[in-house]
Structure 1
Amino acid sequence: MKPLLLALACTLSLAAALPSHAADDATTRFHAIYTKEWAWRQAQFKGEDDEDNHASSLADHLPKVDAATQSMREHYWADVLKQLDAISPQDLHGDDPANYAVYRNQIQTLLADQHFHTWEMPFNSDTAFWTNLGFTARRTLRTADDYRHYIAQLKDIPRYFNEQTVNMRAGLARGFSVPRVTLTGRDLSIADVVNAKGDDNLFYTPFRKMPATIPADVQAQLRQQGRDAIAQSVIPAYTTLLDFIRNTYMKQARTTLAADAMPDGKAFYQSQIREFTTLDMTPDAIHELGLKEVARIRKEMDQTIQDSGFKGSFPEFLHYLRTDPKFYPKTPDELLKDAAWIAKRVDGKVGNYIGRLPRQRFAIEPVPADLAPFYTGGRGGPGVYLVNTYDLPSRPLYSLTALTLHESAPGHAFQMPLAAEHEGLPDFRRYTYISAYGEGWALYCERLGVEMDMYDTPYDRFGYLSYQMWRAARLVVDTGLHHKGWTREQAQAFMRDNTALSEHEIETEVDRYIAWPGQALSYYLGELAIVDARARAEKALGERFDLRAFHDTVLSLGSVPLPVLQQEVDKFIADGGKSPYATK
């Protein structure tokens, strides 16, 4: 080839290999959009706290939640979505097409919540703004400034509660509220704060043991300021809230159960399905899938009963599990120690199934007493696995292995820290939680326990299958309640007839589904997505399939919508099944 033609050919080849100006421009604009919005979002919600808070420092205020602020946020996110729509994902390269899909889903979800004014119903039977503040009270404070910021938050509670109350009144006025039937006893967590005086108050917790690095005279000053803030701000605010909840909200809350029955209810329920599953499935399709999966799991449960040697019917076996004392812990310590033993057994096995393990360790602690009566059996996240030791006759040991795999290792206490530790991801993927992905992974971990030989007895295996049945039944119950007109009793009966859950768990769980439309759908649909992705990878890769590399791929994503999960597994297959952490 002549030198001139060779030079031209090389130039054209190099040009083809480089991203276009359009791609560079799209990348720059996309990064600028999410960087600016993410920083703005963190500032907007600074001070809002829950179990999974990742902020390194404590805010000196609580977030604004008034209607004017909510309207401003809606307009802001609408503008962000418009900016995103001006970018073609085809012009992005590398990880940015996936980042774009994840981020756009986040903005759409935030906008949908603003559109339906979900902030007018700021609590449900599982989670409430006033109990979330309790997690702030239980955080470890390390410096004098941490304590000063905490005291400033306490002083801000009256303003914060007033804004929440105005929002709830607006919700009541239009029939957008938590169903009345689920409210019994939900006032007790407020009353506990009102009735605990002085140093016995929950919000005094950080002052009971202060770091020795803070001088004694400063400690004394901060303790007194904390006592003053509790007496002058916290208790009066909780007292006013308690009066509102008992004498207004509980009496005026709607008597219907279904999300469909609320204003624009059908569209609202569909938006909740979209938020919690990241899928566009209809309630009817989900209901039918649930019935099919319930029937399939029931056959496995029947076989397990046979394997146990029990002679009797399915209802008789459930009665046996629910009533025989040998299946229940006698003390809170027994339950906690059994959970710890199971988690330690996982430590010895998990390296054979997952390549990259999180650096962050987790503690095993009881659910705080003020939350326990209405809390789930357990909950895990970064740094902690909470085990509910309230009402021990409702905490079966045959389900504890499945619960521990889900909530601690390799479930929530692995997935969330791994996401946060993945510095190659944008922060909006490291520090947000998409329920379908996170709960799907945790439920998949219960299934992984079969491969890990974690279920030692037929009863343990039945407990695992009962937990699978529980989540499959949620597809039926949630859509039954919110779309098909089911009663609370009908939902409880379905759970009672198909799972080995205790009566207390059945009641608290059904009330949770009633008060939190759509959230219960995320678990089983998320698990099915991971199971399907794994089956496709195993079939496509054959002998090249590496289970550790597959799990590393799934866990390296942060938190993503299920369609993005499937796309990333397709890339894993196309790349020959390599771990994302393999040496280049």
Structure 2
Amino acid sequence: MKSLSASLAAALYLTAAPFAYSQERASEAASAQQTDADAALQMLYGEYHDWRMTEWGFTKSEDGDYTRGGTLPSVKPAEMRRRAAAATDFLARLNQIGHASLSPEEQVNAAVLRSVLTEQIGDARFAEWEMPFDSDSNFWSYLNPRTGFQSVEEYDAYIARMRQVPRYFEEQIANSKAGLARGFSVPRVTLEGRDASLVPYAAEDYSQNPFWSAFEQMPDRFAEEDRKRLKEAGRAAIEQAIAPSYANLLKFLRDDYFPNARGTIAAEKFPDGEAYYAQQIRQYTTLDLTADQIHAIGLDEVARIEAAMRAIMQELAFEGSISEFNERLRTDPQFIARTPEELMGVSAYVAKRVDGKLGEYFGFLPRHRFTIRPVPDAIAPFYTAGRGGYESCLMNTHDLSSRPLYNIPALTIHECAPGHSFQAAFQREQGETAEFRRSIYFSGMGEGWGLYTEFLGEEMGIYRTPYERFGRLSYEMWRAARLVIDTGIHSQGWSRDQAVEYLADRTALSRHEVGTEIDRYISWPGQALAYKLGEMQIRRLRGEAEAALGDDFDIRKFHDVILAMGSVPLPVLESRIGGFIADGGKGLEGVDY
């Protein structure tokens, strides 16, 4: 395995939390005896989960499952502060439970709960609700479902939520105005064209509104009187609540927010900005690293990856610079799909070739199957290249010239399998994860895994040409450069042009993607740091396990143990791999290795 940055290795050893996971403690956990501390913690996080789901508009059925109810949460400042106060109370109660008395499994649950509560309290400290969107994410794009519902009750709840959109948007607008007034806004330079995603929802013709598609997909088994009633109510809700609310929000963004958004781009220019950026770093990486430390780590990684890129360029007999080679790739028509279907076909074929290799790298193979879909047209122009989830893996087919095919294998591995879609299915089918953790996601762990799988694709033999291998390195460089760019923008005074040039010169990303990505880093401080730091953590831990276990190391068991953890802070993952090494590299119970 290639060596990683010495500066990161040192920093990670210093930041690892003391979560003991020894062989002795593991055997204790296997016993039937449950400690009082375990019971107290389980009661606490069960209460927290019920509270959280209720606060955000979910209802609990008789069988204990949660479904979307008929309300949208209030985001008024008083309500947000009340929730932060409740989180503070939960944290105080957590602190009263003796950590050393918990079983290893419950120590992990305690660490996750502590991290989630600390994040919520930190967000409230900086009134993050006053900037409720950025160039990548927002509060208005995901209120309508991609597919129809399966029961009349779900349609009734959907219509009730639609009727709440005017109130919900008014609260979000009020929060955004408060943010504008104190200089806590999305940077103006990142907002150009972002209003386009609202236009379809403001359509006066209900049949053209994205909210109507759920009614077009209504199951045939519904009674005709129900179908008629629901469609009439849905049409009225779109005409009376949805379209006017989106039109009003669109007007606010165009007339008030965009023109008055801040001209600066650094998070440290926010009110109390230096502390805010430090909090964002901790939130997204789950590591105690400073901006300066991360910047240095990024420079080391960029230099390492540049050397690997030059080796491929030499293989292809290209004598120019990395920047010149990247520009050649961007402008070569052989790498551009002619139709969206061609790009989707390349992605699908990569996914099936990965299927043929999964058994060599994982002992537990989830039964669930994902699909691959194009990013919806309404959000595609400013969406990332792809995104993976439990049900589907999204590929962006907008502006095909900006989606070169040599990048598609690495993208598919990261977003689909064995990346995020595979990861989500694996974790769901473990079945033992505490309920409160099933909707919690730590970017350092989750995105670190996604980037690690791109590296794993090399070992699987998925990259078949030097160009695809260069595309993989370009994607890794993209994440390494983020460490330099994010910290450069938010703590070292970099300009947007400087950031664009740095990323464009070192990756084969299209100019469109480069601009979209830089705007994302500007408007979402800290999030981009998670990917590379998480991947480096996983690769370092793998190297330690290989060295310690020797011939007893089984890559399938190592990967299974990581994914079975679910989403956890990186120090918790490090502790678990320490336990994996201590117990001789055991895999998951019940899995035939």
Report the TM-score, using the length of structure 2 for normalisation.
0.92
Give the drift of 1:140. 3.4
Q: Is contact 2:360-2:556 (8 Å) kept?
A: yes
Q: Could you say what secondary structure the match of 1:365 adopts? A: strand
Asked if structure 2 preserves the Cα contact closer than 8 Å seen for 1:308 and 1:459, the reply is no
Question: Is contact 1:419–1:431 with CA below 8 Å preserved after alignment?
Answer: no
Provide the rounded CA distance (Å) in 2 between the counterparts of 1:583 and 1:513.
Answer: 41
Partner of 2:443: 435
Aligned partner of 1:110 in structure 2 is: 120
Compared with structure 1, are the counterparts of its residues 18 and 489 closer, same or farther at alpha carbon in structure 2 (3 Å cutoff)? closer
* Conservation of the 8 A alpha-carbon contact between 1:260 and 1:269: yes
What is the match of residue 251 of structure 1?
Answer: 259
Shift of 1:411: 0.3
Aligned partner of 1:444: which letter? Y
Per the alignment, residue 469 of structure 1 pairs with: 477
Alpha-carbon distance in 1 for matches of 2:58, 2:276: 28
Quote the offset at 1:18 in angstroms.
11
1:320 alignment partner, one of 313, 325, 328: 328
Report the counterpart of residue 171 of structure 1 in structure 2.
Answer: 179
CA deviation vs aligned residue, 1:371-422 (integer Å, no higher than 9, x gap): 0000001111111011101000000100100000000000000112222222
One-letter amino acid matched to 1:154: M
Residue 129 of structure 2 is aligned to residue 129 of structure 1: no
Cα separation, 1, equivalents of 2:374 and 2:322:
32
- Range moving further from structure 2, 508-517 or 412-421: 412-421
1:459 corresponds, among 453, 459, 467, to 467
Which residue identity lines up with residue 82 of structure 1 in the other structure? A
Counterpart in 2 of 1:159?
A: 167
Moved more, 24-33 or 502-511: 24-33
1:195 CA drift (Å): 2.8
Secondary structure of the 2:357 match is: helix
Of 42, 66, 88, 2:53 maps to 42
Distance change >3 Å, CA 81–CA 262, structure 1 → 2: same
- 1:62 is paired with a residue whose SS is coil
* Displacement of 1:431: 2.3
Identify the residue that residue 230 of structure 2 maps to in structure 1: 222
Q: Return the offset for 1:358.
A: 2.0
Aligned with 1:132: secondary structure? coil
Q: CA deviation at 1:355?
A: 1.2
Deviation at 1:496, TM superposition (A): 0.8
Q: Which has the higher contact order (CA 8 A, sep 6+)?
A: 2
Contact 2:322 2:506 in 1 (8 A): no
1:385 aligned counterpart, secondary structure: strand
Pick closer, same or farther for the CA change 1:404–1:531 going to 2, 3 Å. same
Choose from 523, 543, 548 the match for 1:535: 543
State the match for 1:282 in structure 2: 290
Give distance in 2, aligned partners of 1:528 and 1:545: 19
- Tell me which residue corresponds to 1:8: none
Alpha-carbon RMSD across the aligned residues, in angstroms, is: 1.8
Whole-angstrom CA distance in 1 between matches of 2:36 and 2:226: 53
TM-score normalized with structure 1 length:
0.93
1:427 deviates by: 1.7
Once residues 346 and 227 of structure 2 are traced to their aligned partners in structure 1, the CA distance between those partners, rounded to angstroms, is 39
Q: Which amino acid aligns with 2:35?
A: D
Gaps of 5+ in 2: 1-27, 60-64
Q: Indicate whether 1:310 and 2:321 are aligned.
A: no
Residue 486 of structure 2: aligned partner: 478
* Distance (whole Å) between structure 2 residues aligned to residue 580 and residue 101 of structure 1: 22
Do the aligned residues in 2 keep the contact of 1:137 with 1:204 (CA within 8 Å)? no
> Following the alignment from structure 2 to structure 1, what is the Cα–Cα distance between the partners of residues 148 and 534?
33
> How far apart are the structure 2 equivalents of 1:533 and 1:102?
20
- Gap change, CA 1:235 and 1:583, over 3 Å in 2: closer
Shift of 1:311: 4.3
Moved more, 295-304 or 115-124: 115-124
Residue 496 of structure 1: aligned partner: 504
Contact 1:187 1:245 in 2 (8 A): yes
Q: 1:127 is paired with a residue of what secondary structure? A: coil
For 2:39 and 2:467, the matched residues in 1 are separated by: 56
Name the residue aligned to 1:82.
92
SS in 2 for 1:256: coil
Match in the other structure for 2:552: 544
Give the deviation of 1:91 after TM superposition: 1.3
3-state DSSP class of the match of 2:356?
helix
Q: 1:19 to 1:417 in 2, by over 3 A?
A: closer
Q: How far, CA to CA, are the matches of 1:306 and 1:19 in structure 2?
A: 55
**What is the Cα deviation at residue 218 of structure 1?**
1.6
Larger Rg: 1 or 2? 1
User: Does structure 1 residue 26 correspond to structure 2 residue 37?
Assistant: yes
For residues 576 and 496 of structure 1, the distance between their equivalents in structure 2, rounded to whole angstroms, comes to 45
Residue identity in the other structure for 2:90: V
* Offset at residue 19 of structure 1 (A): 12
Equivalent residue letter for 1:412: H
Q: Between 433-442 and 216-225, report the one with greater CA deviation.
A: 216-225
| Number of equivalences | 559
Q: Alpha-carbon deviations, 1:398-453, whole Å to 9, x = none?
A: 01000000000000001122222222111233321100000000000000000000
- Pair 1:506–1:237, CA change in 2 (3 A): same
Which letter maps to 1:103? L
Identity of aligned residues (%): 48
Task: Check whether the contact 2:148–2:218 (CA below 8 A) recurs between aligned residues.
Answer: no
Determine which of 66, 77, 84 is the counterpart of 1:67. Answer: 77
Gaps in structure 1 of 5+ consecutive residues = 1-16, 49-54
| Alignment partners' CA distance in 2, 1:26 and 1:487 | 51
How far has the Cα of 1:56 moved from its partner? 6.2
Deviations 1:186-217 (A, max 9, x none): 11111221135221111001011211121123
Report the alpha carbon displacement of residue 364 of structure 1 after superposing the two structures with TM.
Answer: 0.8
> Which amino acid in 2 is paired with 1:338?
V
Measure the CA separation in 2 of the matches of 1:97 and 1:389: 43
